[in-house]
């Protein structure tokens, strides 16, 4: 059976101690080293070593591979971690809490910026990788079955109840199947087997949406879309429907909840069991990819509600987030008001005071 962790008294006490340590750590001055501005990166929380994994992504219009990093908040240390190699990959990522490893799906690899068509520079691939935190090593898995190659901007989360990764969506940039995909795939890390679920009803095809697993309900929550009702390239608002996926029943369900974060894409969302649902921040909206701020909580029982905070990151999209279940902290890195002008900011949302705090960094010491 999956090992659920409730907020027992000793865990609450431990979170308080870690929070005190973190507060004292933040008071010691700017953190040195670490990555510079980053967009399109993905993150997960390494439960073995207590670190945030910041995997791949890009800075500016640069599409050459950039280093992946780890952030250890207790030690206040950034360290480079193993990467997924060239050409530059676009990835979906989550942490397998049962096997204590990260699982990554690589959908495309980029050789450069296109001058005419994406086909010139984008390889449609379908690669599954596993990260061993202790060895700091990625291993490409030989899988039984593979998702459709080229699912750019697909999202993947770990369903701890079913012990499966759930992958949805993506945009095939060229070749067979070109366009937005609405495929739902399940990956069993124990057998390295991918299964196309083909539920009777699915959300419309989309990419760069937000997705997280809600431990309270046992459902996958999906929100947002890079596919507007007007089709690719449209200036019409994005979708505001919340979708819930039950892997055991192989069923998606649409939920129209008001209020909601609005029609956004390129936001970030993580499951936060202590809040009973999923936490979302930021995103951009049409027309013109206008950046948004706002911290939102979704619960299956209560819908969406905005969490009012004293401080918060500036409006942004293209950032990444990870949840530390021991410290009860949501970490946020990078993103910005435009995809090619990302920040190098590191923020955390502390469940104990329900507020955002920024970790100051020494800009002169950034890595790459």
Domain with 336, as residue range(s), is: 9-365
In a domain, 355, yes or no: yes
CATH code, domain with 45: 2.120.10.80
Strand order in the sheet with 210-214: 210-214, 219-223, 242-246, 251-255
CA 203/CA 158 separation, integer angstroms? 19
In a domain, 184, yes or no: yes
Q: Tell me, what's the pLDDT at 19?
A: 57
CA 316/CA 293 separation, integer angstroms? 6
Asked if residue 225 lies in contact with residue 170, where contact means CB atoms within 8 angstroms, the answer is no
pLDDT in tens, the chain (368 residues): 333 344 555 555 555 555 555 555 555 678 988 998 999 999 999 999 999 999 999 887 777 788 999 999 999 999 999 999 888 999 999 999 999 999 999 999 998 877 767 888 899 999 999 999 999 999 999 999 999 999 999 999 999 999 999 999 999 988 888 999 999 999 999 999 999 999 999 999 999 999 999 999 999 999 998 765 544 455 555 789 999 999 999 999 999 999 999 999 999 999 999 999 999 999 999 878 899 999 999 999 999 999 999 999 999 999 999 999 999 999 999 999 998 889 999 999 999 999 999 999 988 777 77
CA 44/CA 96 separation, integer angstroms? 10
CA 299/CA 212 separation, integer angstroms? 12
Nearest to 207 by CA among 250, 247, 265: 265
Per-residue model confidence as pLDDT tens digits over 96-143: 999 999 999 999 999 887 776 788 889 999 999 999 999 999 999 999
Q: Tell me, what's the pLDDT at 1?
A: 33
DSSP state of 274: G
In a domain, 3, yes or no: no
Helix ranges (DSSP H) in the chain: 9-26
Q: Tell me, what's the pLDDT at 363?
A: 80
DSSP code per residue over 294-330: -EEEEETTTEEEEEP-SS-PPS-BS-EEEEETTTTEE
Which neighbouring-strand residues pair with 332? 321, 347
In a domain, 1, yes or no: no
What is the count of structural domains for the chain? Answer: 1
Token readout for 105 is: 């799906």
Q: Tell me, what's the pLDDT at 280?
A: 98
Phi, psi of 118 (to 5 degrees): -65, -30
Q: Tell me, what's the pLDDT at 4?
A: 37
Instruction: Tell me whether strands 42-46 and 51-55 are parallel, antiparallel or unpaired.
Output: antiparallel
Q: Tell me, what's the pLDDT at 118?
A: 82
Is the pTM above the cut of 0.85? yes
Q: Tell me, what's the pLDDT at 336?
A: 95
- The average confidence (pLDDT) of the chain is 89
Asked if residue 215 lies in contact with residue 271, where contact means CB atoms within 8 angstroms, the answer is yes
């Amino acid at each position: 059976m999956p090992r659920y962790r409730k907020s027992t008294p000793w865990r609450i006490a431990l979170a308080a101690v870690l929070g005190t340590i973190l507060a004292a750590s933040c008071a010691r001055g700017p953190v040195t080293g670490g990555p510079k501005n980053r967009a399109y990166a993905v993150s997960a929380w390494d439960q073995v070593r207590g670190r945030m994994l910041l995997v791949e992504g890009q800075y500016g219009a640069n599409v050459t591979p950039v280093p992946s990093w780890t952030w250890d908040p207790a030690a206040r240390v950034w360290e480079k971690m193993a990467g997924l190699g060239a050409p530059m990959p676009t990835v979906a990522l989550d942490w397998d809490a049962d096997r204590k490893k990260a699982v990554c799906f690589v959908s495309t690899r980029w050789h450069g910026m296109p001058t005419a068509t994406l086909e010139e520079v984008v390889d449609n691939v379908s690669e599954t990788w596993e990260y061993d935190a202790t060895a700091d090593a990625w291993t490409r898995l030989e899988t039984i079955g593979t998702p459709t190659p080229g699912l750019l901007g697909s999202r993947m989360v770990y369903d701890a109840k079913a012990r499966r990764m759930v992958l949805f969506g993506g945009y095939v940039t060229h070749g067979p199947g070109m366009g937005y995909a609405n495929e739902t795939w399940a990956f069993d890390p124990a057998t390295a087997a991918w299964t196309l679920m083909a539920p009777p009803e699915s959300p419309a095809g989309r990419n760069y949406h937000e997705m997280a697993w809600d431990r309270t309900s046992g459902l996958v929550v999906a929100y947002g879309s890079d596919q507007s009702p007007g089709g690719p390239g449209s200036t019409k608002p994005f979708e505001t429907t919340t979708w819930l996926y039950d892997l055991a029943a192989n069923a998606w369900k649409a939920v129209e909840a008001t209020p909601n974060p609005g029609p956004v894409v390129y936001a970030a969302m993580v499951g936060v069991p202590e809040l009973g649902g999923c936490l979302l921040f930021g995103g951009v909206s049409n027309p013109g990819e206008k950046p948004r701020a706002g911290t939102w909580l979704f619960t299956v029982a209560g819908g969406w509600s905005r969490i009012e905070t004293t401080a918060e990151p500036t409006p942004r999209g293209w950032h990444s987030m990870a949840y530390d279940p021991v410290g009860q902290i949501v970490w946020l890195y990078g993103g910005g008001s435009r995809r090619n002008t990302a920040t190098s900011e590191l923020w955390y949302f502390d469940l104990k005071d329900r507020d955002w705090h920024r970790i100051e960094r020494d800009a002169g010491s950034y890595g790459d």
